[in-house]
């Protein structure tokens, strides 16, 4: 099978969309598919093409620009003519478009023009981001654009049953759940680092280390995580908090909270060590379509406190793997974090149970489901 994946974010950029698309590309290639990745060139790259080589697929890097409010990320300029020429010369069986920006829009138009089946991925709630950036009045416009865009495709893929129900109720026409998984070998309790623990807790003891992993940005609701940390620290003064990631809010938060460890972006083994060396993952976001970091924390064997939303609603059992708090209940979120932080044995049991729940969720199965869905679209296109 020949598949084209179109995305406006891709590694080494670190975010849920980039990593999800990359994992799908790797998985499809391991299954023997030819996979073409179409994306904007990164800042240190020139636009152009790379041949198949060892990747069993091509890569087309197009011109782009920095995303407003997110200078570390880029979007691709429209490239409809270039894509039509490319796909006329080597026609994919199906196309997957992961982002709704100018490049994604031109890819959708090119695919429709050529009659190639298209799946789109609903990864980011841009409508919910608007309020966090002072643009709340534009939220209905943003959602209307998302609905129009995805309804031009043959199917829209979403990561949770909850999101599928919500979108269908709000006018999306064809929505299918494609679950997520995590590499439980890469993220595991064995990555716990005594050296990191000693750096964070120089006086030793069993005071908890809290961690947040993700964009340091307004839509992540990090003020609530910090308030929870302050409440726990008032009860256990040796408590530490670690924030992994970067973003537009980092400088202000770091200046206001000199006792919090800000690491910047981490990846690979270093990220796994930070996850496993903490005790509680705090995730107060209400703007995720999923939240892959929740699975990474659970696989790392640490308790999670999150709103009952996205990945937490899908996989986290309240009281067993951590705490899943009613959405928007800030006092409840802080109380739940304090409860887990106060009991080392409870944290240990929750972390073990979380790890056991995640291990059976295999990334290979997700890629097989994705391949089957695209194959089905391709067969319909031939009918």
Q: pLDDT tens for residues 353-366?
A: 999 999 999 899 99
Tens of pLDDT, residue by residue over 186-240, are 999 999 999 999 999 998 888 999 999 999 998 899 999 999 999 999 999 999 9
> What pLDDT is stored for residue 71 in this prediction?
58
Do residue 235 and residue 100 come from a single domain?
no
Q: pLDDT averaged over the chain?
A: 91
Do residue 36 and residue 144 come from a single domain?
yes
> What pLDDT is stored for residue 359 in this prediction?
93
Tens of pLDDT, residue by residue over 337-354, are 999 999 999 999 999 999
Q: Which residue has the tokens 């703007």?
A: 287
Do residue 143 and residue 274 come from a single domain?
no
> What pLDDT is stored for residue 53 in this prediction?
43
Count: domains in the chain? 2
Do residue 247 and residue 313 come from a single domain?
yes
Q: Report whether pLDDT(170) > 80.
A: yes
Do residue 103 and residue 223 come from a single domain?
no
pLDDT range class, residue 42, cuts 50, 70, 90 = confident
Do residue 211 and residue 168 come from a single domain?
no
Do residue 352 and residue 373 come from a single domain?
no
Q: Report whether pLDDT(330) > 70.
A: yes
- Identify which has the larger pLDDT, 111 or 289: 111
Range of the domain at 239: 189-358
Do residue 43 and residue 175 come from a single domain?
yes
Q: Give the list of residues 6+ apart from residue 71 with CB closer than 8 angstroms, or none.
A: 248
Do residue 135 and residue 216 come from a single domain?
no
Among 72-86, 264-278, 296-310, whose mean pLDDT is lowest? 72-86
> What pLDDT is stored for residue 240 in this prediction?
97
pTM for this prediction: 0.88
Percent of the chain with pLDDT over 70: 93
> What pLDDT is stored for residue 55 in this prediction?
42
Do residue 349 and residue 367 come from a single domain?
no
Percent of the chain with pLDDT over 90: 76
Do residue 126 and residue 236 come from a single domain?
no
Taking the CB of residue 250, how many other CB atoms lie within 10 A of it? 17
Show the tokens assigned to 203: 């006086």
Do residue 317 and residue 204 come from a single domain?
yes
CATH code of the domain containing 297: 3.40.50.2000
């Amino acid at each position: 099978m020949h598949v084209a994946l179109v995305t406006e974010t891709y590694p080494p950029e670190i975010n849920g969309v980039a990593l999800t698309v990359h994992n799908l590309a790797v998985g499809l290639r391991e299954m023997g598919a030819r996979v073409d990745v179409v994306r904007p060139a990164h800042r240190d790259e020139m636009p152009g093409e790379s041949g198949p080589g060892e990747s069993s697929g091509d890569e087309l890097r197009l011109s782009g620009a920095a995303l407003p409010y997110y200078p570390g990320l880029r979007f691709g300029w429209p490239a409809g003519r270039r894509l039509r020429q490319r796909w006329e010369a080597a026609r994919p069986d199906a196309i997957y478009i992961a982002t709704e920006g100018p490049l994604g829009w031109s890819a959708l138009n090119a695919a429709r023009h050529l009659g190639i089946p298209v799946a789109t991925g609903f990864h980011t709630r841009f409508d919910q981001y608007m309020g966090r950036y002072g643009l709340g009045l534009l939220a209905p416009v943003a959602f209307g654009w998302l609905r129009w865009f995805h309804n031009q495709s043959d199917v829209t893929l979403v990561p949770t049953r909850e999101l599928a129900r919500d979108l269908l109720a709000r006018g999306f026409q064809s929505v299918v759940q494609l679950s997520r998984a995590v590499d439980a070998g890469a993220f595991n309790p064995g990555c716990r680092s005594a050296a990191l623990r000693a750096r964070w807790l120089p006086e030793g003891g069993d005071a908890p280390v809290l961690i947040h992993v993700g964009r340091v940005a307004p839509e992540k609701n990090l003020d609530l995580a910090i308030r929870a940390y302050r409440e726990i620290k008032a009860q256990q003064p040796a408590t530490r908090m670690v924030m992994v990631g970067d973003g537009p809010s980092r400088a202000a938060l770091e200046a206001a909270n000199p006792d919090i460890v800000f690491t910047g972006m981490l990846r690979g083994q270093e990220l796994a060590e930070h996850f496993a060396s903490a005790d509680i993952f705090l995730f107060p976001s209400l703007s995720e379509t999923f939240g892959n970091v929740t699975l990474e924390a659970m696989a790392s064997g640490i308790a999670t406190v999150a709103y009952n939303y996205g990945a937490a609603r899908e996989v986290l059992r309240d009281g067993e793997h951590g705490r899943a708090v009613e959405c928007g209940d800030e006092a409840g979120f802080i109380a739940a974090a304090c409860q887990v932080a106060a009991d080392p044995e409870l944290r240990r049991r929750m972390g073990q149970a979380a790890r056991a729940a995640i291990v059976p969720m295999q990334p290979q199965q997700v890629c097989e489901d994705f391949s089957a869905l695209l194959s089905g679209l391709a067969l319909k296109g031939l009918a």
